Amino acid sequence: MTKTTAIHFEVSERKILLRLMDILFVLLGIYILELFFDYTYLTISQPDFVAIGVLIVYLSVFGSIFEIYDLQKASKLDVTFRNVVLTASITVLFYLLTPILTPFLPPNRLQIIYFYVTMIAAIFLWRFAYVTFISSPRFYKKVLLVGEISNIENIIRPLNQADPNYKIIGFINCEKEHEDPIKFKGLKEFRPNQLKQVISEYQISEILVASYNSETITSDIYHDLIALLEHGFIIREYTQVYEELTSRVPIQFVGKDFYKYFPFSRSNQNTLYLFFHRLFDILFSFFGLLFGIVIAPLIMIGNALGNRGPILYMQERIGKNGEIFYIFKFRTMVADAEMYGATWATKNDTRVTRFGKFLRRSRLDEIPQFFNVLRGDMSIIGPRPERPFFVNELSRVIPFYETRHIIKPGLTGWAQVNTRYGASVDDSLMKLQYDLYYIKHRGLFLDINIIVKTLSTVLYYRGQ
């Protein structure tokens, strides 16, 4: 059995490719601008390495904030163009406002327009090529699923949503045949003896094994998989791929061997990391509270007109190690929102006031929690603290739910920047998967990623 030679790019490879080619096309665009126009603002032929380096940093940071490296959005030209324009606009603005690190403004201000338009045109030209060629079916990663048919739908949906280039071509039911077998119509099914034929015919790049119990895999399929593995074919287990593509820990597939899935990040015990993490919490919270004091008069006016009640409220939440503390927030609901007991918040919740909706969408309602961070009840980054009533309810139906309490809760977190507000048990399960992923992979670069995505959430007004 020869290994397939189909070309495809992994998720990390596509993200790196997008970043590198954005930079190269912008620099190439500036060089062409320099050759054919009267342009001297930022030159490549006589390079100012500091100025070029600053441009690359700004482009990378603001590109991340405005989501031009999100693979789902990068595959849509209309969304890509909007995000490229936003990225170029803010990049050029900051570039012009840092003349110590960047060239001084040219006498001919028209050169700034050339610079701005060239940046948009260069990036969008490359992105058009990316969507046309690299995001096309010829570069899809074609996958064959080997699993239990009762699980197929729950396996396929998250992977298709996570990566548009990860295509499951079909599946082979690894269970023994039954007299009255279950049928799944959402995906083409192949017979076990067709395994090698399917790999050759469909140019399969990878086999994904998805089974709750390895004992259900028939001996024939097992021996075929061993033979493929011995020839260097890629065979991976579902939970590994799920975590890699979705950035979530698939706890719904975790059984008695749960300890395999939770080798938690060393950063959770790393003294140096925890010291700088706490230092960041204190500094960020100090400036956050200063900002809160500055806008407090506007919040008070808005509250008097739109909320008509107390501006602040306190509520019990569960913190690190299950300890209870009181969280502070600007009130966004009517005064007696839970007079009949705790209930889930929902989309377009009628209990949320007009001004409260603005506070939630802009995340300004969270400002008083900087005080909780200074006190040490919370961190800037971590799982969102939940109320004792809901923790008790969710712990009964969601396995490992209380595992999220092994670190401090946060103002923002991996779940908050990747999913919607938890309004049901299913939503809470999704959030827990993200929270456990953060605890498992916690570190400097993931923290920076969360901060950048939080800025995107605020700028795109996605708070809930």
- 120-124, 206-210, 257-261, 297-301: range with highest mean pLDDT: 120-124
Report the pLDDT value the prediction gives residue 213, as an integer from 0 to 100.
Answer: 65
Residue 307: DSSP 8-state = I
Q: How confident is the model at residue 334 (pLDDT cuts 50, 70, 90)?
A: confident
User: Dihedral of CA 36/42/46/52: which sign?
Assistant: negative
Helix (DSSP H) and strand (DSSP E) numbers for the chain: 16, 9
Give the span between the Cα atoms of 399 and 252, in whole angstroms: 8
**The pair of three-digit structure tokens given for residue 117, joined into one six-digit string:** 């338009």
Report the pLDDT value the prediction gives residue 183, as an integer from 0 to 100.
Answer: 59
Give the span between the Cα atoms of 443 and 366, in whole angstroms: 24
| Cβ 225 vs Cβ 209: under 8 Å | yes
Residue 109: DSSP 8-state = T
Report the pLDDT value the prediction gives residue 374, as an integer from 0 to 100.
Answer: 95
Residue 134: DSSP 8-state = I
Which whole number is the average pLDDT over 219-223? Answer: 85
**Between the CA atoms of 245, 247, 249 and 252, what dihedral angle is there, to the nearest 10 degrees?**
-60
Which whole number is the average pLDDT over 430-435? Answer: 92
382: left (phi over 0), alpha (psi -120 to 50) or beta: left
Q: Under DSSP, is residue 174 helix (H, G, I), strand (E, B) or coil?
A: coil
Decide if pLDDT at 257 tops 70: no
Decide if pLDDT at 10 tops 80: no
* Cα–Cα separations (whole angstroms), residue 228 to 210, 223, 237, 371: 17, 9, 15, 58
Decide if pLDDT at 423 tops 80: no
Q: How confident is the model at residue 309 (pLDDT cuts 50, 70, 90)?
A: confident
Give the span between the Cα atoms of 204 and 206, in whole angstroms: 6
Q: Of 129-143, 371-385, 405-419, where does mean pLDDT reach its minimum?
A: 129-143
**The pair of three-digit structure tokens given for residue 398, joined into one six-digit string:** 């969601």
Percent of the chain with pLDDT over 70: 87
Indicate the domain borders of the chain: 11-134, 140-246, 266-459
Strand 206-210 vs strand 188-190: parallel, antiparallel, or unpaired? Answer: unpaired
| Cβ 315 vs Cβ 326: under 8 Å | yes
Decide if pLDDT at 4 tops 60: no
Which whole number is the average pLDDT over 72-88? Answer: 91
Give the span between the Cα atoms of 415 and 32, in whole angstroms: 43
Per residue, what are the HEC states of 61-84?
HHHHHCCCCCHHHHCCHHHHHHHH
**The pair of three-digit structure tokens given for residue 58, joined into one six-digit string:** 């700004």
Decide if pLDDT at 343 tops 80: no
Domain 140-246 has CATH 3.40.50.300: no
Q: Under DSSP, is residue 399 helix (H, G, I), strand (E, B) or coil?
A: coil
Average pLDDT, the chain: 85
Give the span between the Cα atoms of 292 and 284, in whole angstroms: 12
Give the span between the Cα atoms of 354 and 369, in whole angstroms: 21
**How many CB atoms neighbour CB 432 within 10 A?**
25
Which whole number is the average pLDDT over 194-221? Answer: 83
- 140-149, 224-233, 327-336, 343-352: range with highest mean pLDDT: 224-233
Q: How confident is the model at residue 73 (pLDDT cuts 50, 70, 90)?
A: confident
Report the pLDDT value the prediction gives residue 337, as an integer from 0 to 100.
Answer: 59
Distance of CA 198 to the CA centre of its chain: 34
Most distant pair of Cα atoms in the chain: their distance: 83
Alpha helices in 97-151, H assignment, sequence order: 110-129
This prediction's pTM: 0.81
Q: How confident is the model at residue 23 (pLDDT cuts 50, 70, 90)?
A: very high
Decide if pLDDT at 186 tops 90: no
Which whole number is the average pLDDT over 293-321? Answer: 88
Give the span between the Cα atoms of 432 and 170, in whole angstroms: 30
Q: For 326, how many CA atoms within 13 A lie in the half-sphere containing its CB?
A: 5
Report the pLDDT value the prediction gives residue 378, as an integer from 0 to 100.
Answer: 96
Report the pLDDT value the prediction gives residue 40, as an integer from 0 to 100.
Answer: 87
Decide if pLDDT at 438 tops 90: yes
Residue 423: DSSP 8-state = -
Report the pLDDT value the prediction gives residue 106, as an integer from 0 to 100.
Answer: 83
Which whole number is the average pLDDT over 205-223? Answer: 80
Q: For 362, how many CA atoms within 13 A lie in the half-sphere containing its CB?
A: 12
Report the pLDDT value the prediction gives residue 324, as an integer from 0 to 100.
Answer: 95
Decide if pLDDT at 341 tops 80: no
Decide if pLDDT at 412 tops 90: yes
Q: Under DSSP, is residue 170 helix (H, G, I), strand (E, B) or coil?
A: strand
Quick one: 199 exposed, middle or buried, by C-beta within 10 A (0-12, 13-18, 19+)?
A: buried
What are 158-182's pLDDT values in tens digits? Answer: 888 788 788 888 888 876 665 555 5
Decide if pLDDT at 340 tops 60: no
Give φ, ψ of 109 to 5 degrees. -65, -15
Give the span between the Cα atoms of 249 and 236, in whole angstroms: 16
Report the pLDDT value the prediction gives residue 128, as an integer from 0 to 100.
Answer: 94
What are 29-48's pLDDT values in tens digits? Answer: 999 999 988 888 988 887 78
